[in-house]
Amino acid sequence: MNQFFDAIVIGAGQAGPSLAGRLTTAGMKVALIERKLFGGTCVNTGCIPTKTLVASAYTAHLARRSAEYGIAIESPITIDMKQVKARADAVSTNARTNVETWLRGMDGLTVIEGHARFEGPDVVRVGESLLKAPRIFINVGGRASVPDMPGVGTVDYLLNTSILRLDTIPQHLVVVGGSYIGLEFAQMYRRFGAEVTVVEMAPRLIAREDEDVSEAVQEILTDEGIIVRTRATCIGFKPHPGGVAVDVDCTVGAPVAVGSHVLLAVGRRPNTHDLGLDRAGVMVDARGYIIVDESLATNVPGIWALGDCNGRGAFTHTAYNDFEIVSANLLDRAARRVSDRIPAYALYIDPPLGRVGLSETEARQTGRPVLVAKRPMTRVGRAIEKGETKGFMKVVADAETKQVLGAAILGVGGDEAIHGILDLMNAGVTYPVLQWAVPIHPTVSELIPAVLADLKPVD
């Protein structure tokens, strides 16, 4: 059966639903195809459930520290993991239902459940149905990579999807991958009471960050009893009576970490392998990401790729921004480009790391004259009052243009306070503009002008 539309959206992740909303409001007849869960990764197996679990883990951590605040909890705290999971499930389900209800009630939109596959540049198959449209928007997201490491096929392992189904606490969780997703799970499960080992191939955790950021993050985690094994160059897996034996290091340290559970958190790959892209002639790069131009158009006229599958972002806010770029260019005659976006993200360990723009290392590599300022959270009043003084704030600026190039705020409220810098950079103003600002006391953000005033040349 052939059906004709003005536009087809594949995937109900972070860009597709909003795009469907704009297209239908513009009077188009639109089909949106989703093969699994409305809301995609963020809503179901990413941001929303994990940040809900991080909140439970934070509560456990604070309860254990309650005596430091003069609050007596008479007996040791217990974790009701079934309840913790139920809370995360409820928040996630609520968000998913909201997306689905919104889409199903959208005038002009036909929601189709099933797997979409191209049959040609303007034809998509879903089961027995053939859908045809002059505009097709791909928003298929990604999934966890399963690396081809020795023995990986011989053991049970968890991914970000399956670990969310646990309603018991692992005795010992080995997290393979010391980057953003792995570290969030590592700290939360440690706070739920598991022994945790993080195994990372690189010489340090979150290796794309500055060395001082990596070191401070590692210290935060090891202070809580997490074992961190970096430079694990020969990672391999074997079944073990206690669960899974993970080869950690061929030369230095205990060669094996035995976990009751293993989480693989070693990166993501795009869901482009089963989309029939070759039939449409859409080009992908060596890792399977759809190649797009500045407006997120593919090489095939009439086909765009948005969100994680285009490799231009790996976050909910970048996927949503892709929707804004595509819809503004198509419907508002704007000329928005993906490279106008200032990179920003957070790592939701506690305290969180808020990041924007260039790291200090990247700024130095540009060869520009660079100014740097850094302030430990022990010198931030709000952090002292809260009893949460780990981490630091760091800002990097261009000495000649006086533009802020980037910042890292690792500390309580860092995920929020970083927006002061992000807004400054988006406004395109120089940092002295903030020096006459009157921020609210006591906040973490109030120290941003003080840090900017401290900017000094580096050698």
Ligand X SMILES: Cc1cc2nc3c(=O)[nH]c(=O)nc-3n(C[C@H](O)[C@H](O)[C@H](O)COP(=O)(O)OP(=O)(O)OC[C@H]3O[C@@H](n4cnc5c(N)ncnc54)[C@H](O)[C@@H]3O)c2cc1C
| Residues making contact with ligand X (CB under 6 A) | 10-15, 33-37, 40-42, 45-47, 50-51, 115-116, 139-142, 160, 181, 271, 275, 307-308, 314-317, 319, 348
Tokens at 355, concatenated:
């990041």
Report, in Å, the least distance between residue 177 CB and ligand X.
11
What are the tokens at 214?
């990596």
| Residue 386, strand partner residues | none
Dist CA 142 CA 139 (whole Å): 9
Non-local (6+) Cβ contacts of 367 within 8 A are none
With respect to ligand X, which residue has the nearer C-beta, 51 or 419?
51
Residues 124, 122: Cα–Cα separation, whole Å: 7
Nearer to ligand X, 33 or 451 (CB): 33
Cβ proximity of 82 and 166 under 8 Å? no
**The two three-digit tokens of residue 5, written as one number:** 């539309």
Q: Are strands 236-240 and 243-247 parallel, antiparallel or unpaired?
A: antiparallel
Sorted by sequence, the CB contacts under 8 Å of residue 289 that are 6+ apart come out as: 270, 272, 309, 310, 311
Find the shortest distance in angstroms from Cβ 349 to ligand X.
11
Give the distance, in angstroms, between the CA of residue 153 and the centroid of all CA atoms in the same chain. 27
Give the closest residue to 265 by CA, choosing from 206, 344, 339.
206
CB of 255 to ligand X, least distance (A): 29
Min separation Cβ 4 and ligand X, Å: 19
Is 273 noted as a catalytic residue in this protein?
no
What does each C-alpha distance from 238 to 185, 232, 262 come to in angstroms?
A: 22, 16, 11
CB nearer ligand X, residue 43 or residue 330: 43
Complex with ligand X: residue 132 or 238, whichever CB lies closer: 132
Residue from 61, 240, 419, 441 carrying the catalytic annotation: 441
Smallest gap from residue 257 Cβ to ligand X (A) = 22
Cβ closest to ligand X, residue 13 vs residue 420? 13
The set of catalytic residues is 441
